[in-house]
Amino acid sequence: MGAIGLTVIDWIIILIYFGFVIGIGFYLRKFTTSEEDFFLAGRKNSAWVAGLAFLSANLGALELLGMTGNTFKYGMYVAHFYWIGAVPAMLFLGIYMMPFYYSSKIKSIPGYLLLRFDEKTRILNGIAFAIMTLLVSGINLYAMALVLHTFLGWDWNVSMWISAITVAIYVGLSGLMSAIFTEIIQFFMIWFGLFLVSLMGIIEFGSLDQIMHRLPETMNTLWSTSGDPTKNGMFIHWSGLVLGLGFVLSFGYWTTDFLVVQRAFSAKDLRTARTAPLLASFFKMALPFLVILAGMIAIVLSSDPKSGFKLLQDGGQINYDSALPLLIKRYYPTGLVGLGVTALLAGFMAGQAGNISAFNTVWTYDIYKSILNKKATDAHLLKVGRIATIVGVIISLGTAYWAKSFPSIMDYMQAIFSWVNAPLFATMLLGMFVWWITPNGAFWGLIVGMSSSFLMWAGVKFNWFSESLITNSSVQSDMAANFWRAWWAWLICFSVTIIISLFTKKREKEELVGLVKGLTKEVKEGHIPFIKKPEFLALISLIVFIILNLLFW
């Protein structure tokens, strides 16, 4: 396929965007005078700013290209990633976990592990998270380069380096502050730039019902076919969805992944920090109408020979990630293609900036200061953070070429999350709610949990054993294997942590005040009306969540 023909207006839109985000980095540099400004945006943000940044950090390649492409592959079941795979965990973070995170004044999730357990547990998670972040960061660089290379006709290597240099400049200049500002801009760019795809698709087919009716039966429902894996596009039983995605992967990502939680840390006070993920949950529930609907439109178009719509193929293998850019080409008139392409690039840069800003924080505090230079001054740490940003982007270039070799962004991402986030959630859950969990229990539980997850993945990949051993199903599905592997890794970590804690030295209760539920004094908010409390917002979000699941049952 040749490049999309861009007009002068399209190029102007793209160049203005790139110039604008770099300009923000230079402008905000003068406000970035301390390490807290660089790593936590000065803790000055409102709930709306922190909430939109919280969600935007997640709006990378996975959400746009990956989810649209996977809808083409799996059907409406992909909406589970937005609803059961996100909302309950976001509400749990805002109501129960954020008070522990925010009040302890930690700068990272590994920082909590240091206070709750010990240095070795913190370092283990810090290293694992840093590696995971750079692997995920490479996906966003790869996706940005994919758009520039495949659809604009740029050389692949040039596309990769232009994307990397842009992110390195504006995150390196002012850290999390510029990342958050550009993420909010990118949030609106994504919505305004891509909603026309869904709108034009509905107009072409007449209505949303017409699109739903034209989908294969295995792809147009959410729960009604989950009792039999052979009757849905993902080949997954409802138990795998609930345990693997709804519980382990969802809570493991939204409550322990520092990439997103860091945005809530930037809030100006505890109530604002708790509100941030609750506000974000409403936008998260709305995203399927932008992304999943686009994927369903692509399914219907590709099943009609007269439409002329066909996904790209790489070496004879279908490139599902090409669905969204091809829809942009189909529906956007001359002059608007630049807006659509810029919206895609905005999403990828939001994800990339989020990963790099999280990486530079964890590297600086939980690896460099913890292991290499314990007496580092704030000014020195600020310098180290900027250097880590550049190094992180360079390493991401390498992981981008690795990501390019995978057939599916989504499968690659879920495999990574099951290695790190799934067992970490077991450790965090026990640490926050069970006081007698010991440092040695947490450390060895994490080691065994992460190792078991990786071995299960490698075992299936290299045919050491059958996938059915993990999924308990004769039907083969990469996504089902991801969900079940996450569940088993969580359960193994959970069990090992408890068993070892029963036989190892416990910390005194007095040392855990402020870190464990039951040992921490509840913060009283005074006489605030219920409708102004975070709990009310969480209740409304939960009601909307239930209605959506019933509506598309």
Helices 119-146/409-433 angle, 10° precision:
160
> Coil, strand or helix: which one is 408?
coil
Measuring CA to CA, how many Å separate 250 from each of 85, 188, 199, 223, 495? 5, 25, 29, 18, 20
pLDDT over 70 (residue 170) = no
Region at 539 (left for phi over 0; alpha for psi -120 to 50; beta for the rest): alpha
Give the pLDDT of residue 114: 85
Span 257-261, average pLDDT: 72
- Which pLDDT band, with edges at 50, 70 and 90, does 404 fall under? low
Give the pLDDT of residue 42: 46
Closest by Cα among 350, 384, 391 to 365: 384
> Coil, strand or helix: which one is 519?
coil
Closest by Cα among 346, 420, 319, 359 to 137: 359
Whole-angstrom distance, CA of residue 409 vs CA of residue 413: 6
The more confidently predicted of residues 351 and 69 is 69
User: For the chain, what's the residue count?
Assistant: 553
Whole-angstrom distance, CA of residue 466 vs CA of residue 470: 8
Give the pLDDT of residue 89: 92
pLDDT over 60 (residue 187) = yes
Measuring CA to CA, how many Å separate 246 from each of 130, 189, 227, 267? 25, 29, 16, 27
317 DSSP β-pair partners: 314
Give the pLDDT of residue 113: 86
CB atoms within 10 A of CB 306: 6
**Residue-wise pLDDT tens digits, 269-290:** 778 888 888 988 998 898 888 8
List of residues 6+ apart from 248 with CB closer than 8 A: 422, 425, 486, 487, 489, 490
Rg over CA atoms, the chain: 23
Whole-angstrom distance, CA of residue 125 vs CA of residue 131: 10
Helices 119-146/439-461 angle, 10° precision:
40
- Which pLDDT band, with edges at 50, 70 and 90, does 41 fall under? very low
Whole-angstrom distance, CA of residue 178 vs CA of residue 268: 17
**Lowest-confidence region among 450-459, 526-535, 543-552:** 526-535
Percent of the chain with pLDDT over 70: 80
Q: Which two tokens stand for residue 179?
A: 């990342």
- Which pLDDT band, with edges at 50, 70 and 90, does 295 fall under? confident
Whole-angstrom distance, CA of residue 160 vs CA of residue 123: 31
Give the pLDDT of residue 19: 78
Helix (H) or strand (E) holding 350: helix 337-362
Give the pLDDT of residue 57: 67
- Which pLDDT band, with edges at 50, 70 and 90, does 493 fall under? very high
Give the pLDDT of residue 320: 74
Q: Which two tokens stand for residue 255?
A: 């409550």
Span 169-179, average pLDDT: 60
pLDDT over 90 (residue 541) = yes
pLDDT over 70 (residue 410) = no
Provide the CATH number for the domain formed by 8-405 in this structure. 1.20.1730.10
The more confidently predicted of residues 525 and 262 is 262
Whole-angstrom distance, CA of residue 392 vs CA of residue 135: 10
Give the pLDDT of residue 490: 93
Q: Are 227 and 472 in contact (CB under 8 A)?
A: no
The more confidently predicted of residues 513 and 547 is 547
Whole-angstrom distance, CA of residue 71 vs CA of residue 293: 8
Give the pLDDT of residue 452: 92
What's 365's DSSP letter?
I
Mean pLDDT rounded to a whole number for the chain:
78
Give the pLDDT of residue 25: 64
Q: Which two tokens stand for residue 519?
A: 């040992």
For 443-509, give the secondary structure using H, E and C: HHHHHHHHHHHHHHHHHHHCCCCCCHHHHCCCCCCHHHHHHHHHHHHHHHHHHHHHHHHHCCCCCCH
- Which pLDDT band, with edges at 50, 70 and 90, does 444 fall under? very high
Q: Are 106 and 343 in contact (CB under 8 A)?
A: no
Give the pLDDT of residue 441: 95
Token look-up 């859950």 returns: 429
Helix (H) or strand (E) holding 142: helix 119-146
**Residue-wise pLDDT tens digits, 134-154:** 887 777 777 777 777 666 677
Closest by Cα among 261, 246, 342, 245 to 58: 261
Q: Show the CA angle centred on residue 64, arms to residues 240 and 244, nearest 5°.
A: 10
507 DSSP β-pair partners: none
- Which pLDDT band, with edges at 50, 70 and 90, does 375 fall under? confident
Token look-up 């392409």 returns: 341
The more confidently predicted of residues 392 and 437 is 437
pLDDT over 50 (residue 6) = yes
Can you spell out the DSSP letters for 192-249? HHHHHHHHHHHHHHSSHHHHHHHS-GGGS-SSTTTTSGGGSTT---HHHIIIIIIIII
Q: How many CA atoms lie within 13 A of 401 on its CB side?
A: 8
The more confidently predicted of residues 197 and 410 is 197
